[in-house]
Amino acid sequence: MTQIPVTILTGFLGSGKTTLLQRILKEQHGHRIAVIENEFGEAGIDNELLVQDREEQIIEMNNGCICCTVRGDLVRILGELHAKKAAGQLHFDRVVIETTGLADPAPVAQTFFVDDNIGQQYLLDAIVTMVDAVHADAQLDEHHEAQEQVAFADRILITKSDLANAEELKALRQRVVQMNPRAKIGEARNGVASIGDLLDIRGFNLNAILEIEPDFLTDVSHEHDDDVTSFVFRAEKPLDLDRTEDFLSGVIQVYGAKLMRYKGVLSVKGQDRRVVIQGVHMLMGSDLGTAWKPGEKRDSKMVFIGRDMPKDMLLEGLAQCVVGASKTLREPAR
C-alpha cells in the first residue's frame, strides 16, 4: 500500500480543534478518515461530540499527553490501524490526529521519522494549528506549548475572529508571521474552513523543521507545567440547566483566569438532546448536541483544566445543580 497521509491538528486549549474536526467529519468530501484524539486528564468529552452516523474510525487516548506519556500508544494504534486496513477490516484513506491543547507538536511529528515501521506506512502531510483570536496573546506569552504549536505549523487557522476587532487581528497576524513566516494563514469561523487548507497539503518540510530545532530527530525530552491539572464532574441524574448555567457564570466571574478550559456533555431535565457547555477563561457558551437514543444511559460529564482551580467548590456546586438536590448553592468567594 502507498503511504497513508496524516494531518496533525493542534492548537491551545479551547482554540476550536474539535469544532473544526466535527465539520470535517460531516462534510461530503469523499475522504474516509480515521481520527485519533488525545485529551488531557482521566476522561474525554470530544469522542461524544465527534461520533457521527457515518463510518469514521475514532480512537480516544486519555490520561496523558500524546507528546509524551502516551506516545507509545500512538505508535501502537497507528500500527494496528495499518494492519486492519491491510487486512480489509477497516476502510480509511487518511488519518487526523487531534492533540490535546497542551501538546508540543514536535514529539508527535517526530514519531513519523524515528519509528521505521510508522515512517514506511504513513506520510506526515501537515501540522495544522488553530489560534484563538481572543486568548492567543496571553497564551503565547504564558505557555511554551502554544509557541511551539505556532512555530511548527504548516497551516495556521485563526478562530473566533468575529470576537476580536480589526486592530487586534492585525497585531495577532503580525505576531504569528514573525514567529512562523513559512506557514499560510487562514481563518476558521464556527469550525468552517476549506478542506484544501487542511488535507493533502504536503506541507511538512523536515529540513525547515531542522532549522527551527536541530535536535528534532534525537531529542525526546519534553516537560509540562506541573501547575496545570484537571478533574472531572460526573452525575447519573439529570441537571437543572438554569441552575447549572447560573452557577458556572458566577464561577467564571471569579475564577475565570484560572479555568484554562472546561467542557461538558450534560443530561438536562426536559431535554431529549445532549447539552454541550464549553468555555475558555471568561468566555462560556452552550449548545444542543446529538439526541439521546432510546434506552441509552443518560449521564453528565464535565472536564476542567486549569491552575489552582477551586475543585471542591466546583464539584459541590455542580452536585447541587442535579435535579432534586439541595438548592443552597455555595457562592464563589469574591
Do 143 and 19 share a structural domain? Answer: yes
End residue of a domain, out of 182, 212, 242: 212
Lowest mean pLDDT among 38-47, 260-269, 306-315: 38-47
pLDDT at residue 250 is higher than 70: yes
Over the stretch 69-95, which tens digit does the pLDDT of each residue have?
Answer: 556 778 888 998 999 999 988 888 889
Q: Is the pLDDT higher at 164 or at 51?
A: 164
* Residues 74 and 180 occupy one common structural domain: yes
Number of other residues whose CB lies within 10 A of the CB of residue 217: 13
Which of 162, 187, 212 marks a domain boundary? 212
pLDDT higher than 90, residue 239: yes
Secondary structure of residue 223 in the 3-state scheme: coil
In a domain, 205, yes or no: yes
Say yes or no: 154 and 253 in one domain: no
DSSP three-state, residue 238: coil
* CB-count burial class (<10 Å; 0-12, 13-18, 19+) for 73: middle
The CATH number of the domain holding residue 145 is: 3.40.50.300
Partner residues linked to 283 by β-bridges: 280
- Res. 233 pLDDT band, cuts 50 70 90: very high
* Residue 237 and residue 194 in one domain: no
70 shares its domain with 201: yes
Within this chain, do residues 77 and 160 fall inside the same structural domain, yes or no?
yes
Closest to 85 (Cα-Cα) out of 28, 34, 36:
34
Q: Looking at the structure, tell me whether residues 170 and 73 fall in a common domain.
A: yes
In a domain, 199, yes or no: yes
247: CATH = 3.30.1220.10
Q: Residue 43 has which C-alpha cell? A: 476522561
Tell me if 219 is assigned to some domain. Answer: no
Q: Residue 86 domain-assigned?
A: yes
Same-domain status, 176 and 38 = yes
Do 153 and 285 share a structural domain? Answer: no
More confident residue, 69 or 272: 272
If asked whether residues 154 and 303 sit together in one domain, one would say no
Residue 276 within a domain: yes
Name the packing angle between helices 144-151 and 166-179 (round to 10°).
80
How many domains, in total, are found in the chain? 2
Domain assignment of residue 148, yes or no = yes
Looking at 161, 177, 212, the residue that finishes a domain is 212
Q: What whole-number distance in Å separates Cα of residue 16 and Cα of residue 129?
A: 10
Q: Is residue 93 a part of any domain in this protein? A: yes
Contact 67, 11 (CB under 8 A): no
For residue 247, what are the CA distances in angstroms to 65, 141, 239, 328?
A: 30, 30, 12, 11
Domain extent for 50: 4-212
Same domain, yes or no: 146 and 183:
yes
- 58/37 Cα distance (integer angstroms): 8
| Sequence-ordered strand ranges (E) for the chain | 4-11, 33-38, 57-61, 94-98, 122-132, 155-159, 184-188, 228-235, 259-266, 273-280, 283-291, 300-307
Contact 6, 95 (CB under 8 A): yes
pLDDT band at 296; cut points 50, 70, 90:
confident
Length of the chain: 334
Poorest-confidence range of 204-208, 237-241, 263-267?
204-208
Q: Answer whether residue 274 is part of any domain.
A: yes
Mean predicted lDDT score pLDDT of the chain: 82
Strands 184-188 and 122-132: unpaired
Give residue-wise pLDDT tens across range 100-138: 888 888 888 888 887 889 889 999 999 999 999 999 999
Residues 163, 306 share a domain:
no
